[in-house]
Amino acid sequence: MSNQAGIASYIDHTLLKPEASEADVLKVCAEAAEYNFKSVCVNPIWVKTVKKALKGSGVLTCAVVGFPLGATPSDVKAFEARGAVLDGADEIDMVINIASARANDKGALVEDITAVAEAVHTGEAILKVIIETSLLSDEQKVIACEAAVEAGADFVKTSTGFNGGGATAEDVALMRKTVGPELGVKASGGVRSLADAQAMIAAGATRIGASSGIAIVKGEQGSSDY
């Protein structure tokens, strides 16, 4: 399903800029409903707005947690995730403790992700785990993905889009190889064209995070970093 029509069902239509207004958020929701994107992904303060705007559309509501640095305590991430799910989020994209990954401390990563996974799954939502590939070695990427599997996450995700670098087909392939066929793999950061999205899907991605979703489905070139 990598043609232009089918690609929309892979896309989390994303607006994470701190200066985004309610009008900006509502515009993204309208676009997602029009193009039948998979979800709208926003910061937690907008979850109620998005859930209401998307009602009846079939488009999911997604919120980020511990974003974009991942450097808040695990119990705070869990609290934030629980609140977002209560507000109506169907999916949560959390950022791991990147320092733990860079220290090759899988145990700490498992604890970090498990705390959030329990909060998210109690609310019957889906957890995606952002490992921030641009800051990790291949060995560290593998450790982070293994920790996500052990902690019961539903997806691993490449990037926040806020720390330089972005998704590469090589990273997606490595993540897919590490997590196996059962978990989802989300490619985000710098996916700006249909060709980019198709390359990620060919490498093993089952979801695409992008703010250039409309350009992607139209076969045009987007300009955003995310």
Active site residues: 93, 157, 186
3-state secondary structure of 225: coil
CB 118, CB 125: distance < 8 Å: no
Which residues does 84 contact at the CB level (< 8 Å), separation at least 6? 44, 47, 63, 65, 92
User: What element of type H or E holds 126?
Assistant: strand 126-130
Would you state the structure tokens that stand for residue 147, as one six-digit string? 């920790």
Instruction: For residue 224, give the amino acid letter.
Output: S
Q: d(Cα 225, Cα 87) in Å, to the nearest integer? A: 28
Tokens for 113, please give them: 């992700």
CA angle, 193 then 194 then 197, to 5°: 90
DSSP state of 170: H
Q: Which two tokens stand for residue 64?
A: 């980020």
